Amino acid sequence: MRRIQIAAAVALLALACAPDAQARKLGSLEFKTCSLSTPFSDEALPAQCATLQVPENPASPAGRKIGLKIAWIPADKDDAAEPDPVFMLAGGPGQSALESYPQTANAFAETRKKRHIILVDQRGTGGSNALSCKEPFDETELPTPQAATDYTKRCLAALSKRADPRFYTTTEAIQDLDAVRKAIGAEKINLVGISYGTRVAQQYAAKYPASTRTIVLDSVAPNSLVLGNEFARNLEEALDLQFALCAKTSACLQRMGDPRAKLRALMAKLESDPPLVAYRDGITGESKQEKLTPALVAGLVRMYAYMPLASSLLPLQLNEAANGRYDALMALSKMLGDQMSESITMGMQLSVICSEDGSELKADPADEGTLLGNDLADYLVAQCAVWPKGTRPAGFRAPLKTAVPALLLSGEFDPVTPPRYGEAVVKPLANGRHLVLRGQGHNVIGVGCMPRLMAQFIDSADARRLDAKCLAKLAYTPPFTGFYGWEP
């Protein structure tokens, strides 16, 4: 890590000393040297940054403006780059593309050999008038619907002085992307959407097919999906698959028992008698005491299920909790909660969900008794009752039908956008192909040989001719059977 930081600093210094470091043009936009970083790491990547002013309300171009924050990561062979750049579309909804990119930069290493990477902080995130609610939020308990309503009203009151949340939806975002495309002088662009970014990519390709050269959809969200309605079901299915690895590993089964049964027992205990836990803060090292609640554990399990490397820790941690040792589980839960609060812009997320999904959000009796239950859906319904809503266009829910070449990617164990979503979306795509990565979770473009395959697809614009045999080398992540790690 230290070597990477030094290399990044040297690269930034070199850029700062270059004659053209003060300003570079791409199309009509003037860029200046900047660096990209993330709340999760000290690493900084050199880039070029610019701002494009767009109307907050597209129907009132003379009204309030939003400055869209844009980053340009030049191709390795800058002067010989292909004319069609790659736009990375971040997930969430609510994540900043500029902050997300450093975590996925390695996935674009092969693509960058020939093409520029363009990042646009979607309106309402990052540097594009972020709709952030800064009031402290207690992650130890899921709020009641009334508490959710009150919190959301306070957030809205604070934001209303500088934003109209009705105009921070996917519909305005794809117009912004096309404005950026025109500003940088690109006739066509390649879209790489991750999670919620796949919704943005599908909506853009449907409205601007002539400007879309290829699309990569990583962790696919169908246009028909109501964000929030299937989270509980999808998590349960993913946990069944992941916990089954313990049953297939003799040392795990012998030492850890049944992780699913231990998770149920733990949640029942926390519901009736949450223990006061002494633990060491994973970020500051400070000693603390706090009650371990069901909400903390549910949040940890859900987010760890996104990443097989992280979820491999769960059988061990659940076994520790079953034996009355809660400190590591508490420390991990709190650290994850702190990190997640920095990565999602809540106001923008509400603008998207409440405008596009709010009228269809509903509790599902079948979800009662699951880890997440219906609390999240009930919470969103309460928030959307007071949040201003934009207009969802006619045809928004229609599946994407296009001849634009498309590569779709799913992780076998994805707890939020399972492979069946990708299977449904690829059917009407005349030039589409769906790859399911064995044993993987959410966001898979950086896994194994996938960066090379993505670059080959973008170069050839032909998903069906890709030789994807290299993905067969992907192995399942075995569960931890002790604090020393996996079995040899």
How does pLDDT run across 173-223, given as a tens digit for each residue?
Answer: 999 999 999 999 999 999 999 999 999 999 999 999 999 999 999 999 999
Tens of pLDDT, residues 101-111: 999 999 999 99
Mean per-residue pLDDT, 226-253:
93
Give the DSSP letter string of 73-134: E--SSGGG--SS-EEEE--TTT--HHHHHHHHGGGGTTGGGTS-EEEE--TTSTTTT-----
Angle at 58 between CA 54 and CA 60, to 5 degrees: 100
- Residue ranges per structural domain of the chain: 2-146+162-227+396-473, 258-343
For residue 171, the one-letter residue type is T
Residue 38 clears pLDDT 80, i.e. is over it: no
Among the listed ranges 35-49, 222-236, 292-306, which one has the minimum average pLDDT value?
35-49
DSSP string, 380-429: HHHHHTTS---PPPTTTTSPP---S-EEEEEETT-SSS-HHHHHHHHTT-
Token readout for 479 is 């569960």
Strand pairing report for 432-437 and 406-411: parallel
Least confident of 138-147, 218-227, 237-246, 265-274: 138-147
pLDDT at 22 over 70: no
Asked if residue 450 lies in contact with residue 408, where contact means CB atoms within 8 angstroms, the answer is: no
Q: What is the DSSP letter of 226?
A: -
What are the beta bridge partners of residue 433?
A: 407
CA distance 7 to 12: 9
* CA–CA distances in Å: residue 259 to residues 332, 416, 486: 17, 20, 16
Q: Interhelix angle for 375-384 vs 346-356, to 10°?
A: 90
2-146+162-227+396-473: CATH, from 3.40.50.280, 3.30.365.10, 3.40.50.1820, 3.30.930.10 = 3.40.50.1820
Strand partners, 87: 118, 191
Please enumerate in sequence order all residues whose Cβ is within 8 A of that of 306, keeping only pairs 6 or more positions apart, or say none.
Answer: 414, 415, 416, 441, 442, 443
As a whole number, the mean pLDDT across the chain is 90
Q: If pLDDT is split at 50, 70 and 90, which confidence band does 486 have?
A: low
Rg of the Cα trace of the chain?
A: 23
d(CA 61, CA 379): 35
CA 389 to CA 165: how far, in whole Å? 7
CB 437 within 8 A of CB 412: yes
Q: Which helix (H) or strand (E) holds 354?
A: helix 346-356
Rounded Cα gap, residues 298 and 432, in angstroms: 36
Band (pLDDT 50/70/90 cuts) for residue 484 is confident
pLDDT of residue 100: 94
Strands 65-73 and 41-55: antiparallel
Model confidence band, residue 12 (pLDDT cutoffs 50, 70, 90): very low
Question: Whole-model pTM?
Answer: 0.92
Annotate 19-47 with b (16+ C-beta within 10 A) or e (fewer): eeeeebebeebebebbbbbbeeeebbbbb
